[in-house]
Structure 1
């Protein structure tokens, strides 16, 4: 079934120009407004927790702006299966490459941290050709073997090396003498069995993965925050911001606090571009 769905629907749609895919996005959004809304309870619950002082009308307005962007995100993700390198770069531009250029001149690798904000799938496809380092992306493999293969091929076709979560330590060892930038998504909800760092995020006690800070300290990597901004429909800009140049000397938790704060700032500025459909606060602080 997955193979049929891909070859009869997803792949043919990916050849359509973006204006045609946006027509489908508009149609999907209309369907959601008519009642078939994806994870509506989760979205409204998350927004209410994050912005307790906002009236219901404003929460509702943010939610529908989010769904408007979410439908576009789906359309743009479909396009990635057939997008050219030139189009990908034109749609997702690195605006200050000199930050990583300077690190490359010093033969320094980096960790690039950020959240599920704006279009992270386009980031995966378009970023590697624009930086001097080899881009490594940590991800959770899909359970469906066919879609895992197709999504991996799409994401990595312009240079990104995908790193399954279970092979992170092994990959760091393999690339420790190479010039790399390794991406960490910092807004995923950890499991109970994992070591977590507790902080305040969007007004909530929040468990955050500690891996980015740990690996930065262990391998002496510079930590950089990646801030994506939506310029207009289908076009984004990525800006790098240095968080910590000397990770081993940073106080415990300082790097994690800083990167979480930067993501929170982005969300407060334009909350409709964060992924509100996931249950971010499943873990409760002991």
Structure 2
């Protein structure tokens, strides 16, 4: 069944990826209508999330943000497909690195880099970052259940020299390279929700106490890597700008969880400023009332 789904969808995705952007976004407009008005894809989850983190906003403003988000979501779906055939030149034009010199400065410290970012704007096109740095690039991801699409995603990312590694592979892969003297830059999407267990770190995100992933921070501290935040903004439809914000040159010197908290504060600023570009379909706050008692 997995292979059948793959061979049915792959030609469609490839055909979409070859379309010019002006046609791509006409299709995106249709996808928006389908997602928002017809299917209502996770509309309740999105609404609940927005009402939870913006309790003072009136219903009509929540609705406006929700509509803008679904338009952005549709664009992202089509842009993800476009990644299959987009050229390096085109991707650099559409995903502009504002301060590439900061990567060079961090490289000169002769320390591997942990790059943290959230599900904001276009995290998919961040794979172009590898073209601005000499360190070997990795991105931590959750394996797809469909093995054929999982292989396809790995192939797409690797054409820009960024290699995907699963969460289970992360420590071994990065440690092995570090031991061998190979400096790396590893990207972590760190704003998702881990299980609400006793040993997990509970921090504040958008003013709400939630369990937080701390794997990126722990790896940076244990191996004394530098830590940076990738601040991605949407400039206009189909165009993004990213800024490298250094959080720590010597991560081991920071108290536990401080880097995680600083990352969340940086991401919050972007969400408060332009909320429609955050990934509201994810149930990020589902464990907010489940903190185990000690």
Partner residue of 2:133 out of 131, 134, 149: 131
3-state SS of the aligned residue for 2:246? Answer: strand
String of CA shifts for 1:35-67, please: whole Å, max 9, x gaps: 322100000000011101111111111010100
* Preserved contact between residue 2 and residue 147 of structure 1 (Cα < 8 Å): no
Change (3 A) 1:180 1:195: farther
Matched with 1:158 is 160
Is the CA contact (8 Å cut-off) linking 1:118 and 1:229 kept in structure 2?
yes
* Pair 1:285 & 2:291 matched: yes
1:196-240 C-alpha deviation (Å, 9 max, x unpaired): 211111121111111111111100011101000111111111101
- Which of 9, 24, 29 aligns to 2:27? It is 24
Is the counterpart of residue 101 in structure 1 residue 104 in structure 2? yes
Structure 2 match to 1:117: 120
2:186 to 182, 186, 190: 182
Superposed displacement of residue 8, structure 1: 2.9
For structure 1, the 5+ residue unaligned runs are none
The CA distance in 1 between the partners of 2:135 and 2:223, in whole Å, is 16
Is 2:196–2:211's contact at 8 Å kept on the other side of the alignment? Answer: no
Aligned to 2:16: 13
Q: How far apart are 1:28 and its partner, in Å?
A: 1.3
With over 3 angstroms needed to count, the CA separation of the structure-2 counterparts of 1:195 and 1:158, relative to structure 1, is: farther
Once the two structures are overlaid, the 10-residue window that deviates more, 142-151 or 97-106, is: 97-106
How far did residue 93 of structure 1 move?
1.5
Contact 1:195 1:209 in 2 (8 A): no
**CA displacement, residues 165-202 of structure 1 (integer Å, 9 cap, x when unaligned):** 11111012112122211111111110245942111111
Match of 2:234 in 1: 230
| Alpha-carbon contact 2:221-2:252 (below 8 Å) kept | yes
SS in 2 for 1:191: coil
Q: Secondary structure at the match of 1:276?
A: coil
Query: What is the aligned partner in structure 1 of residue 170 from structure 2?
Result: 168
Aligned to 1:3: 6
Structure 1 residues 65 and 194, CA, compared in 2 at 3 Å: closer, same or farther?
farther
SS in 2 for 1:69: helix
Q: How many residues align?
A: 285
SS in 1 for 2:12: helix
Structure 1: how far apart are the matches of 2:198 and 2:158?
28
Label 1:194 to 1:84 Cα distance change in 2 as closer, same or farther (>3 A): farther
Shift of 1:73: 0.5
Alpha-carbon shift at residue 241 of structure 1 (Å): 0.6
The answer as to 2:150 corresponding to 1:148 is: yes
State the distance in 2 between where 1:97 and 1:195 align.
37
Report runs of 4+ in structure 1 exceeding 3 Å deviation: 192-195
Pick closer, same or farther for the CA change 1:190–1:202 going to 2, 3 Å: same
